[in-house]
């Protein structure tokens, strides 16, 4: 049987951490001001914000957002000579660069795209640099980039398309470069570059500033030392700032700020400072003789020059440095000036914001982009209201991390509407409709059918127009009036052109009480207890057809004159019939459960909701099943959303839409009873909603978006790990930096808003740090005997504060006294005395003062909020996992240890790792270990001899396979078929153990094969099984495994979907055809970026599918899609060795759309 493989890699959330920014200015014809566009780089993504400054307020709106096939490490904007707009220069991690021009509309105010003006590359692409700098000389159009110690790369920023730009790579005499800036432009056509450097880590006594003259021609770049002498500065100096006009340089450091304009030792003006910042990663010119600096503590400082008159009458500049304010977000990674008094600050660990400057410093800041990184750990909530990913986000400043609750889909937010007046009704509402009673004013009238004291009645707001004597079954807008179907008749209210005139009422009376009704265009279908009739309005009501049938629900489509009837007669069946011939069955389908609702989407789809929470999407006219989803266990009800979509509600909500492709979008519902909820659409953005759980009738605004929504909880500390047990989030927190002797804590938070602490935090011992937190399913045969056997030399029991207690103090009712009154529902949960249940296992480390690595740590087993038992180990516990339900495996420094469930007996040990960092156990006898520096190893466990009849049998732990490559492990996920490794060089690998192992000394017999490799462009720090999409029970059974999410330091959240081997081969050829036919930003090479690369190895991109590239096929025009498919079919037809079935555009579009819906 073919097994699916995790190969389809796509993006669920783009990177959010900002690492570079600048402003691109465009001159507007006829205006004195220029249009400003804020360009922000977030890893492999470039976003452009339109900026408008009015009355001191800054308004930003994202205009365009594009992926770049290269991780951006430096970015500059400059204005070439005789140009009316700025040009953007980008440098990527792999030494490729490009020059881009911003395309705009409406006199430069609206950004529409990018055009490539030049591109090139330099340096050894295999070198992993730790610092990147770039500076552009505008008049010369020469750039200089620093990408490795001692090397400067000079280049021309423009080049003729198809030709290489002239460049020069020079190794200067400086050992370690720190910063650089252009000082001046000479009349001879040369530029002077100032470079800050030191003498290397072993001889760093002072730092120096040296200058170089750079001159270029059409084909050469000449670099010469000079023209000024070398100036010595303080050791703390880390930043050079130059005045754009004057030949003056400011050197800023932690303890000194210096200014020199005559380039002699005697001309240096030095002032001692105590700003407390060791680095200034961000700086920008703020006008006149001022510069803004962002330090590594999240502060904004201002450096400026004050002209001071000397005794001899000369004027010389004097430097000053002042702190303007604390941004209270995180480190400042980049700064740029967007107005006279406004600046943008981007951060790698905090939110991006815009600030305003006043006389007293930073006056106000507004967040314009939320950063969900850096993600250090994650767990997944599959709650009834929607799938949510919980991430731990660390912060390097202010010692304050966050928990982020992330989800995709559609939100329903309470709103108001002046044109709609809701109805207060104490009864149970059975129907709710909104119709337009005044086309000129677009005013809405609500009709409500309610049942009170056993009697059904109708009310309307405003009253007095419709028939309210009987219960209303249906109300809808028609082209020539309003339709109202009651239990006895069908009425059409036709409005005249006069606003005050009463409508004309046209009525069709039923022979027996009506129970169901549906309409679409001019077609109306009504049903009584034994008969179905179709009606059409043509100056009067006409009966098109009728049949004798008892139906449970019905729907009609006026565009193709079809009627869907669901009936129950020993079996649950749907039949598709013509509106003018109800006795003739066009197609039918039998389903397993009772059909509760049915509706059409346009002309070619039929949506069916069942009583068990299943949702079917059937194609027309054959009623074949296209998709099947589960929305819970309660009956599914369908409501009209707008013209091309339906709202389906069970325990979860979903919108089924069909525009250019079939889409399913999650709707996040509030907690409560949605069993009998009713809703009526007002327009595309608002609905009227009624719920029977006391919420009453509300107007809700619909927020359409495929973007991730984040809700943040401040933790007042640094989170290390998070896991979920039932409805409690266990968060492992690092020790407080302000109290060095204290240990970390374990917090217990509710998984639903408000996320309050359910119990006091569990405090660890002094200096003890939690490293990992996992929820494991373990089995205890006899808990009474287990607790009585309790204390031994290496096992210690703890109370909630971390102190040791007697075993008799541990009972089953151990949490009742810890919980507050409002949380007594959780405290009353007494665990079972024996059997399998969930425990939270925490691994800790206790670092020593002089230890190279931690020499002590503990394994803590928690149930509810107390430690049930623990064990001390000789090292840091980096990861834990369960082997079956009766053994626990853990990584301790350079070894893997296996214990019994009580942690009393060490059953097995395997040593020999550099640092065993990650652990996974796909089976009870196999352990996958991720080493910090030696990639992945596979350990097999076998039974050895037992020491006695009363003690567990000891085990042998042997290495049976290993990846011989020296990959640095960042994250690990393993199942029975394959192992996914996130490599520290921003790569992703799929490893597979060879099926058969030959005997012999050759190590290659134990090798793990690399089945797939790609470059992600992000550091993936954790894996988490799950998906944000509405899970399909049909697809999950077919695929045999669930999708996998991964979180990155940059805030990116990716998803890896399972696909079959033949699908991988086919889509790999498709993605290569799309890459060849696409024009990427800057002309960057897709295959070069996706190639697996480390500092010692480069491998081809293979095995994985780039989901973002494949899904871009859906955005192409129909002509472009046919061109790609036809070219691919022709190439495969000429390749005789290829096993290829010709593709069609329709089939390929549907296949990619289904994959897109899975994430």
pLDDT digits over 1089-1109, tens only? 999 988 778 889 999 999 999
Confidence of residue 715 (pLDDT cuts 50, 70, 90): confident
Nearest CA among 1103, 1046, 1033 for reference residue 1071: 1103
CA distances from 843 to 411, 858, 862 (A): 38, 6, 11
Is pLDDT larger for residue 80 or for residue 465?
A: 80
- Per-residue pLDDT tens digits for 144-174: 887 766 677 888 887 655 455 667 777 666 5
- Return the pLDDT at 891: 95
- What is d(CA 734, CA 767) in angstroms, rounded to the nearest whole number? 10
- Does residue 125 have a pLDDT over 60? no
User: How far is Cα 1096 from Cα 834, in angstroms, rounded to an integer?
Assistant: 53
Are residues 24 and 77 in contact, defined by beta-carbon separation less than 8 angstroms?
yes
The whole-angstrom separation of Cα 679 and Cα 691 is 9
* DSSP class per residue in 376-417: EEEEEEEETTEEEEEEEE--SSTT--EEEEEE-SEEEEEE--
Single out the residue of 21, 131, 118, 37 nearest to residue 76, CA to CA.
21
Q: What is the largest CA-CA distance in the chain?
A: 113
What residues pair up with 629 in beta bridges, in sequence order?
615
The CA–CA distances, whole Å, from 330 to 21, 204, 277, 608 equal 16, 30, 14, 50
Is there a contact between 107 and 119 (Cβ–Cβ < 8 Å)? Answer: no
Residue 1124, number of CB atoms within 10 A of its CB: 21
User: Is the Cβ–Cβ distance between 604 and 570 less than 8 Å?
Assistant: no
Nearest to 840, CA basis, from 924, 971, 724, 744: 724
Q: What is the mean pLDDT of residues 1045-1058?
A: 92
Q: Is the model more confident about 631 or about 1054?
A: 1054
Average pLDDT (597-614) is 86
Interval 414-426 mean pLDDT: 67
Tell me the chain's radius of gyration from C-alpha atoms: 34
- pLDDT at position 636, please? 86
The CA–CA distances, whole Å, from 348 to 298, 375, 1049 equal 11, 11, 9
27-71 residue pLDDT tens: 887 777 888 999 999 999 999 998 888 777 788 888 899 999 999
Residue 826, Cβ neighbours under 10 Å: how many? Answer: 18
Binned at pLDDT 50, 70 and 90, residue 773 comes out as very high
The answer to whether 1125 and 1141 have CB atoms below 8 angstroms apart is: no
For residues 493 and 695, the model is more confident at 493
Closest CA to 862 of 729, 716, 714: 729
Q: What is the pLDDT of residues 935-985, one digit of tens each?
A: 999 999 888 765 555 555 578 888 888 998 889 999 999 988 889 999 998
- Does residue 785 carry a pLDDT above 60? no
Rounded to 5 degrees, what angle do the CA atoms 896, 897, 898 make? 130
Residue 504's DSSP bridge partners are 494
Before 712, cis peptide (omega within 30)? no
pLDDT tens column, 866-924: 888 899 999 999 999 999 888 999 999 999 999 998 888 899 999 989 999 999 999 98
549: left (phi over 0), alpha (psi -120 to 50) or beta: beta
Q: In this predicted structure, what is the pLDDT of residue 228?
A: 84
Check residue 661 and give its pLDDT. Answer: 66
Nearest to 572 by CA among 548, 597, 605, 536: 597
- What is the token pair recorded at 251? 């050197």
Say whether pLDDT at 123 is over 70.
no
pTM above 0.95, yes or no: no
Q: How far apart are CA 248 and CA 243, in angstroms?
A: 6
Specify the pLDDT at position 328: 66
Q: Is the pLDDT of residue 1079 over 80?
A: yes
**What average pLDDT score do residues 252-280 get?**
75
Q: Answer whether 1134's CB lies under 8 Å from 38's CB.
A: no
User: What integer pLDDT is reported at residue 245 of this predicted model?
Assistant: 63
- Mean pLDDT in the chain? 80
Token digits for 316? Answer: 């010389």
At 1069 the pLDDT is 92
pLDDT, residue 397, reads 56
What percent of the chain clears pLDDT 90, i.e. is strictly above it? 22
| 8 A C-beta contact, residue 23 and residue 337 | yes
Note the Cα 544 to chain centre separation in Å: 53
Q: What is the per-residue pLDDT across 590-600, written as a single tens digit (0 to 9) for each?
A: 888 889 899 98
Whole-number Å distance between alpha carbons of 1089 and 1092: 8
Alpha-carbon gap, residue 72 to 532, rounded angstroms: 65
Mean pLDDT is lowest, of 363-372, 425-434, 1058-1067, 1090-1099, for: 425-434
Instruction: Tell me the per-residue pLDDT of 383-395, one tens digit each, with 9 for 90 and over.
Output: 545 578 888 887 7
Provide mean pLDDT across the span 689-709.
73
Q: What is the pLDDT, as a whole number, of residue 631?
A: 81
Alpha-carbon distances, residue 470 vs 448, 459, 489, 545 (angstroms):
11, 10, 10, 26
CB 218 within 8 A of CB 259: no
1028 CB-side CA count, 13 A: 28
pLDDT at 438: 64
Phi, psi of 728 (to 5 degrees): -120, 130
Residues in the chain: 1159
Which of 538-552, 629-643, 714-728 is the least confident region? 629-643
Q: Are 180 and 197 in contact (CB under 8 A)?
A: no
Q: How far apart are CA 840 and CA 823, in angstroms?
A: 20
Confidence of residue 614 (pLDDT cuts 50, 70, 90): confident
* 303 compared with 1037, residue with greater pLDDT: 303
Give residue-wise pLDDT tens across range 314-333.
666 778 888 888 776 668 88
Q: For position 1094, what pLDDT does the model report?
A: 83
- Dump pLDDT digits (tens) for 902-913: 888 899 999 989
Q: Could you tell me which residue, 261 or 699, shows the higher pLDDT?
A: 699
CA angle (221 as vertex; 218, 227 as ends), nearest 5: 130
CA–CA separation, 1124 and 1138 (whole Å): 18
Considering only CA atoms, which of 303, 71, 186, 374 is closest in space to residue 1050? Answer: 374
């Amino acid at each position: 049987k073919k097994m699916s493989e995790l190969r389809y890699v796509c993006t669920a959330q783009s990177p959010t951490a900002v690492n570079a920014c600048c402003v691109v200015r465009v001159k507007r014809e006829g205006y004195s001001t220029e249009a400003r566009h804020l360009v922000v780089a977030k890893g492999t993504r470039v976003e452009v914000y339109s900026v408008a400054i009015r009355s001191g307020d800054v308004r930003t709106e994202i205009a365009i957002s594009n992926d770049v096939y290269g991780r951006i490490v430096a970015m500059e904007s400059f204005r070439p000579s005789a140009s009316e707009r700025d040009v953007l220069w980008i440098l990527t991690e792999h030494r490729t660069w490009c020059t881009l021009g911003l395309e705009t509309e409406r006199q430069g105010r609206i950004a529409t795209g990018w055009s490539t003006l030049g591109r090139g590359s330099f340096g050894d692409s295999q070198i992993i640099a730790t610092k990147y700098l770039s500076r552009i000389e505008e008049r010369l159009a020469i750039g200089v980039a620093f990408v490795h110690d001692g090397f400067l790369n000079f280049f021309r920023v423009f080049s003729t398309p198809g030709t290489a730009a002239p460049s020069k790579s020079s190794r200067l005499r400086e050992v370690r470069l720190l910063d650089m800036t252009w000082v001046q432009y000479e009349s001879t056509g040369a530029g002077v570059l100032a470079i800050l450097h030191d003498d290397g880590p072993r001889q760093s006594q002072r730092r120096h500033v040296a200058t170089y003259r750079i001159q270029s021609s059409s084909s050469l770049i000449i670099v010469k030392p000079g023209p000024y002498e070398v100036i010595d500065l303080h050791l703390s100096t880390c930043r050079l700032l130059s005045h754009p006009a004057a030949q003056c340089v400011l050197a800023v450091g932690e303890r000194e700020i210096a200014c020199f304009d005559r380039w002699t030792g005697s001309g240096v003006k030095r002032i001692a400072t105590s700003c407390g910042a060791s680095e200034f990663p961000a700086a920008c010119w703020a006008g006149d003789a001022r510069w803004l600096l962002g330090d590594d503590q999240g502060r904004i400082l201002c450096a400026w020059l004050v002209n001071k008159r000397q005794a001899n009458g000369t004027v010389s500049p004097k430097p000053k440095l002042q702190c303007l304010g604390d941004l209270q977000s995180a480190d400042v990674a980049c700064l740029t000036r967007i107005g006279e008094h406004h600046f943008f600050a981007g951060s790698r660990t905090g939110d991006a914001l815009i600030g305003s400057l006043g006389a007293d410093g930073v006056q106000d800041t507004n967040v314009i982009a939320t950063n969900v990184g850096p993600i250090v750990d994650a767990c997944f909530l599959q709650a009834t209201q929607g799938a949510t990913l919980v991430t731990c986000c660390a912060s390097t400043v202010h010692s304050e991390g966050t928990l982020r609750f992330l989800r995709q889909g559609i939100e329903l937010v309470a709103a108001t509407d002046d044109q709609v007046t809701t109805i207060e009704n104490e009864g149970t509402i059975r129907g709710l409709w909104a119709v337009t009673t005044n086309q000129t004013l677009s005013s809405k009238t609500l009709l409500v059918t309610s049942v009170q004291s056993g009697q059904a009645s109708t009310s309307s707001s405003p009253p007095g127009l419709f028939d309210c004597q009987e219960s209303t079954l249906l109300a809808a807008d028609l082209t020539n009036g309003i339709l109202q179907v009651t239990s006895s008749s069908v009425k059409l209210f036709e409005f005249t052109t006069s606003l005050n005139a009463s409508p004309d009422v046209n009525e069709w009376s039923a022979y027996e009480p009506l129970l169901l009704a549906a309409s679409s265009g001019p077609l109306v279908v009504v049903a009584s207890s034994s008969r179905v009739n179709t009606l059409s309005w043509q100056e009067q009501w006409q009966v098109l057809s009728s049949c004798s049938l008892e139906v449970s629900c019905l729907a009609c489509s006026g565009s193709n004159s079809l009627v869907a009837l669901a009936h129950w007669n020993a079996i649950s069946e749907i039949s598709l019939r013509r509106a003018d011939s109800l006795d003739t069955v066009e197609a039918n389908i039998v389903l397993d459960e009772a059909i509760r609702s049915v509706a059409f989407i346009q002309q070619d789809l039929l949506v069916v909701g069942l009583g068990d929470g299943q949702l079917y999407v059937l194609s027309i006219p054959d009623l074949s099943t296209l998709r099947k989803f589960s929305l819970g266990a309660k009956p599914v009800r369908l409501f009209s959303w707008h013209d091309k979509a339906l709202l389906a509600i069970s325990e979860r909500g979903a919108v089924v839409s069909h525009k250019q492709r079939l889409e399913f979008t999650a709707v996040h519902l509030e907690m409560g009873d949605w069993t009998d909820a009713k809703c009526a659409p007002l327009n595309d953005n608002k609905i009227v909603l009624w719920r029977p759980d006391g919420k009453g009738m509300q107007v809700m605004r619909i927020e359409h978006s495929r973007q991730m929504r984040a809700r943040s909880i401040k933790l007042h500390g640094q989170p290390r790990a998070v896991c979920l047990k039932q409805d409690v989030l266990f968060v492992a927190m690092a020790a407080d930096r302000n109290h060095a002797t204290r240990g970390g804590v374990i917090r217990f938070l509710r998984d639903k808003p408000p996320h309050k602490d359910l119990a006091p935090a569990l405090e660890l011992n002094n200096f003890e740090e939690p490293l990992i937190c996992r929820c494991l399913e373990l089995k205890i045969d006899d808990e009474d005997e287990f607790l009585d056997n309790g204390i031994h030399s290496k096992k210690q029991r703890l109370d909630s504060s971390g102190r040791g207690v007697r075993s008799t103090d541990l009972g089953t009712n151990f949490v009742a006294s810890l919980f507050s009154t409002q949380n007594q529902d959780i405290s009353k949960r007494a665990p079972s005395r024996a059997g399998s249940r969930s425990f939270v296992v925490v691994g800790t480390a206790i670092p020593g003062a002089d230890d190279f690595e931690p020499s002590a740590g503990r394994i803590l087993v928690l149930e509810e909020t107390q430690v049930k038992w623990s064990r001390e180990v000789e090292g840091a516990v980096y990861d834990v996992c369960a082997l079956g339900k009766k053994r626990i495996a853990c990584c301790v420094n350079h070894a893997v240890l296996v214990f019994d469930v009580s942690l009393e007996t060490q059953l097995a040990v395997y040593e020999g790792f550099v640092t065993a960092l990650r652990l996974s156990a796909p089976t009870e006898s196999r352990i996958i270990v991720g080493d910090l520096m030696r990639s992945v190893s596979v350990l097999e466990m076998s039974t050895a001899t037992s020491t006695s009849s009363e003690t567990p049998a000891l085990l042998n732990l042997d290495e049976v396979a290993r990846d011989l490559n020296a990959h640095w492990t960042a994250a690990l996920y393993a199942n029975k078929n394959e192992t996914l490794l996130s490599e520290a060089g921003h790569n992703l690998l799929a490893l597979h153990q060879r099926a058969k192992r030959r005997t012999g000394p050759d190590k290659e017999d134990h090798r793990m094969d690399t089945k797939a490799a790609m470059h992600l462009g992000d550091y993936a720090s954790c894996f988490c099984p799950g998906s944000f999409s509405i899970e399909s029970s049909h697809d999950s059974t077919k695929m045999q495994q669930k999708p996998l999410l991964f979180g990155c330091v940059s805030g990116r959240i990716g998803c890896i979907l399972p696909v079959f081997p033949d699908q991988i081969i086919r889509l790999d050829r498709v993605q290569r055809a799309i890459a060849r036919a696409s024009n990427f930003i800057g002309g960057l090479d897709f295959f070069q970026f996706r190639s697996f690369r480390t500092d010692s190895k480069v491998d081809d991109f293979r095995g994985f599918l780039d989901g973002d590239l494949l899904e871009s096929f859906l955005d192409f025009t129909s002509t472009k899609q046919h061109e790609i498919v036809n070219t691919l079919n022709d190439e495969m037809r000429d390749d005789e060795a290829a096993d290829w079935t010709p593709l069609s555009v329709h089939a390929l579009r549907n296949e990619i759309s289904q994959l897109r819906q899975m994430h």
